[in-house]
A and B are shown apart, each in its own frame.
Chain A
Amino acid sequence: MKKENAERAIIEVVWRAKSGLSGSYEKDAEVVVRRSLEYIILTALHPNTAISVILQVINDDGSLLACAMNAACAALVDAGIPLNGLLSAVSCGVTHDGQVFLDPTKPEEQKCKAYVSFVFPSRRLSAVPELPADVDGEPVEYGILTSVTRGAMEVEEYFSCVENCRAAAAKVSEFSRSSIEQSLKGNRDGC
């Protein structure tokens, strides 16, 4: 149950499926989301506290985990929880003849050989070691935060997925930043 921690906040994730009782898939998804969020939430700022993130599946048409991750991140920003960065999650599938495609829908997920969901951190770094990939001249952190695969794929295919998803995640990250800025502007004007 709830483990209190006197030094930091604990993160609790509740994943509610659309229909039926919560099973192992939901528990697994909760753990994945929690571990990813632990990376960005500044838990040390709130000792003896619990931060609950509740995810309700309204419709599942593929790329569910990626969608949930993006939603959780946006919800944390909306709640005003102090974060040290944002997340951007993308998923892609691999067909039986080795072709990689982004953002599979449910029927595509069921028919492809394997699919993978990636979560990338999307935060700007202030100190600059030797990192590539700039966004507006500011260096951006590079690396895979979370990777969940379903099905078996070749190693080369996996790396190809990483590349494609990394590029897509940059776009997703741009979009989520601009959405957040828009919503904050709206909040300020008309509460």
Chain B
Amino acid sequence: MSHAGLRMSTNEKEFIVAAIREEQRIDGRTPFDYRRLQIKFLKEDGSVEVQLGQTRVLAVVKGEITQPYPDRGNEGSLAIFTEFSPMGDPAFEPGRPSEMAVELGRIIDRGLRESRAVDTESLCILSGRSVWSIRVDIHILDNYGNLVDAANLAALAALLSYRRPECTVGGDDGQQIIVHPPEVREPVGLIIHHLPIAVTFAFFGDGNFQVLDPNLKEEEVMGGRITITINSQGEICAVQKGGGVGVSASEVMRCLRIAAAKAQSMTETLKKAVEIHEIERAQRKIRRHPNLQNQIDTASSVPNPIKKIEVEMEETSEDIEPKQALDTERGIKDLSMSDSSRMKSTETEVAETLTEKPSRAGGRDLFAGGESAWGDDVKLTPLKGSPGTRSTLFPLDSDALVEFDVAARAVLRGGVSSQRMSSKLVSEPLQRQISDQIAAAAVYANQTSPLISEDARPLGPIFPRVGDMDSTEESDAALETKSVSQPEGTPVNFYFSGKKKPKKRGGSGRQD
């Protein structure tokens, strides 16, 4: 097990082994302790960097449509590619994968593909003709021991966060595949049945001393190594022990038991990290217009009533959620309004939307106070306007504003019906637009999130990114048909704060 790049003195080697006999490790860990684990999801779906102590591994998942294998016509394929570039370790040579690289690739492959963790039948598009071929590239960025565990985790996290474009079969002969770009249809995730976690032990002495998660120096002096790929249900997916010192069966059983426990805690950590990433991803999709606050403030004709409204909204601290909803609403509306009607519509649609929502959700008041789920560290000022923009200002009717003021305050205090709203403020096409947007939002939220539960605490509205608000005809049609099929009275689901157990959804969700 000698490492070409690392040169250790005999003293150091003996010291490490002697310390392990006393159940001490050179970095201060106990024998069955993992190093600090960090899972970082990169901006692109399916790219994850895992840091286990000082070992860093990057996993990238890509999918493409190919022909299936002739003997497995209705199954997609999953392939793992490992590249040990000299970046990870000076001992790695560029060019052909070394023995270690091939072994690592095989262990991960066995754990994921052969244990049927990733569902390949769902990757089929046209049986015998076209299937999705998923490719996982594993890059070693820094080798400081135990690459297998880190790489396995990275591959798992990448597969969990990967989204492939949705495609439908259509055309005249029913044989044409239409791949929908992500702006038109939300990409779907892979179906992963269980999470096989690799747990590696190193043997020292005559095989009677084991440590978990060896670092680079321990790997240099170890006598042998065993990798157990096991999932949180205690099912062993793979065991790899190649060469090295002979170990008694009872020691192997002991390692298996420890591995089962470690796999459970690792699975929890991984799932939590994925959840946080999902929420953050969904929040990223909410597009906020940065200039609206300034536009409202600079309304030249009637400055005072407007400022009063803003100040009021800010001061009511328990209504933080409605205010954020307002900002979002305004943002989306602003982008879709023409310049001339911008000022007037901004005020009116805010009130309109507030009153729209309770009726839409079947009487349930979604913004009824409650603690803000966003927490203290969300700064609202960046969401507001910047002095950079000026729009053509529209002189506002002071009567309309006063009426709006009264209505807005009433609504903010909690779920007042829309009767008090003057209908003259809201135009017909505007109403339709607002209801369309809400329907689309409901559809979007229902369609994409695999982690929502019915009675989840709402975080905030999520709106679809329909191009740059210049939605193509196709996407408009798609949205419209979907909003028609949305059943009445269905509560509008929003993303929850993560405290509830996620409800499993069929189809493109995850099951485990």
Contacts and interface: CB of A to CB of B under 8 A. Distances in A.
Interface of A: 14, 16, 18-20, 52, 54, 56, 58-59, 61
A61 B47 CA distance: 14
B113 interface: no
Interface in B59-89: 60, 62, 83, 85-87
B165 to A, nearest CB: 16
A58 B135 CA distance: 16
Nearest to A75: B87
B371 interface: no
Given A56-B141, A58-B58, A59-B44, 7 more contacts: A14-B86, A14-B87, A16-B139, A18-B137, A20-B62, A56-B58, A59-B43
28 contacts: A14-B85, A14-B86, A14-B87, A14-B94, A16-B83, A16-B87, A16-B139, A18-B137, A19-B60, A19-B62, A19-B135, A20-B62, A20-B137, A52-B86, A54-B86, A54-B87, A54-B94, A56-B58, A56-B85, A56-B87, A56-B141, A58-B42, A58-B47, A58-B58, A59-B42, A59-B43, A59-B47, A61-B43
A79 to B, nearest CB: 11
A136 to B, nearest CB: 33
Interface in B318-364: none
Contacts of A59: 42-44, 47
Contacts of B49: 58
Contacts of B47: 18, 58-59
B118 to A, nearest CB: 17
Interface string B130-155: 00000101010100000000000000
Across chains A and B, which 7 residue pairs bring their CB atoms closest together, nearest first? Answer: A54-B87, A19-B62, A19-B137, A19-B60, A14-B94, A16-B85, A54-B86
A70 to B, nearest CB: 17
B85 A54 contact: yes
Contacts of A20: 62, 135, 137
Nearest to A15: B85
Contacts of B94: 14, 54
Interface of B: 42-44, 47, 49, 58, 60, 62, 83, 85-87, 94, 135, 137, 139, 141
A79 B47 CA distance: 28
Contacts of B139: 16, 56
B63 to A, nearest CB: 10
Contacts of A61: 43
A18 B60 contact: yes
Q: Tell me if A's interface is mostly helix, strand, loop or mixed.
A: loop
Contacts of A52: 86
A58 B137 CA distance: 11
A19 B137 CA distance: 6
A54 B91 CA distance: 13
A58 B87 CA distance: 13
A19 B45 CA distance: 13
A101 B44 CA distance: 25
B121 to A, nearest CB: 24
Contacts of A18: 47, 60, 137
A52 B91 CA distance: 12
Nearest to B90: A52
B151 to A, nearest CB: 15
Contacts of A14: 85-87, 94
A19 B81 CA distance: 9
Nearest to B83: A16
Contacts of A19: 60, 62, 135, 137
Contacts of B135: 19-20
Nearest to B85: A16
A20 B42 CA distance: 18
A46 to B, nearest CB: 16
B448 to A, nearest CB: 22
Contacts of B44: 59
B156 to A, nearest CB: 17
A19 B43 CA distance: 15
Nearest to B95: A1
A56 B139 CA distance: 8
A16 B138 CA distance: 11
Contacts of B58: 56, 58
A20 B64 CA distance: 12
A19 B49 CA distance: 14
A109 to B, nearest CB: 16
A97 to B, nearest CB: 19
Contacts of B85: 14, 16, 54, 56
A35 B307 CA distance: 61
B162 to A, nearest CB: 11
A154 to B, nearest CB: 29
A22 to B, nearest CB: 9
A58 B42 CA distance: 9
B450 to A, nearest CB: 25
A1 to B, nearest CB: 9
Contacts of A16: 83, 85, 87, 139
Contacts of B42: 58-59
B341 to A, nearest CB: 30
A54 B86 CA distance: 7
